[in-house]
Structure 1
Amino acid sequence: MKNLDNELDFIIQTCACANIRKAARIVTQVYEKQMASTGLKITQYYMLVNIARHREISISKLGDIMLLDQSTITRNVNILKKDGYVNITRDKNDSRTKFVSITEMGLSKIEEATPIWLELQEKAEHELGKKTYNDLLEKLQRLQQSME
């Protein structure tokens, strides 16, 4: 039994997936709390930024970029549309394909939320140090690529 307990402790302490998910949940909670005044969740902010960056993007391409399934993307895009931040149009050649574009209200919402996002980014960089922070981002990207 002692050996099993040691193995279980090892799994709990070293599981890449569990530890990354735990860290992601904690970081997400901090971002969500700080961004609450904007009415946006961090996922919605990131989604708006991606839509603005691409000007017009299909829902499936947005899902690929954000690594979210179609139903999650559609649900969040519909919330953003209801709030007036995005427009949804259908492809003229394929009515099954929907495109999302940012509105002026959406751009204003990004301008409102970005200072909060920047403050949180700067805090993360400050806490870890710029080099360690950049190393972390690089390692996370390498881990993602290695798991694909």
Structure 2
Amino acid sequence: MARVLSALIIGLVFGSGIALSGMANPAKVLNFFDFAGTWDPSLAFVMGGALIVTAIGYALVLKRDAPVFDRLFHLPTRRDLDFPLVAGSAVFGIGWGITGFCPGGAIPALGLGHGDAWLFVGSMVGGIAAARLARHTLATHVMAKAS
């Protein structure tokens, strides 16, 4: 129960930060990408602030032997760049640039009543399901060819 409560509090703090900084507003995000028009650099300051807080947090937390609610840290071990990583990053960036939403900003936007956020989140869930189905289908096809 403490683990779930901790995750809820962390999510509320993150969502509040996104909402207070204006990053749940897709127009503000899209203005960041509009260098030739109504450019708004505030997103860079939000990201920079988040990077500083994250760096300090990681430095402090990783000094511990284990996380508070688990027996070990689950950190990525792969360092290579593969097609799914590059393709996923490209889809994320293109989607963010077109819609003004990223998953971290879209979820708080749901609570703020942004109607477009519902369409975005629904499309995101559909895209995740389609990617999982494609990956499963591809893996099944490759396994069938190998046998």
Greater strand share, 1 or 2? 1
Where relative contact order (Cα < 8 A, 6+ residues apart) is larger, the structure is 2
Structure 2 length-normalised TM: 0.31
Greater helix share, 1 or 2? 1
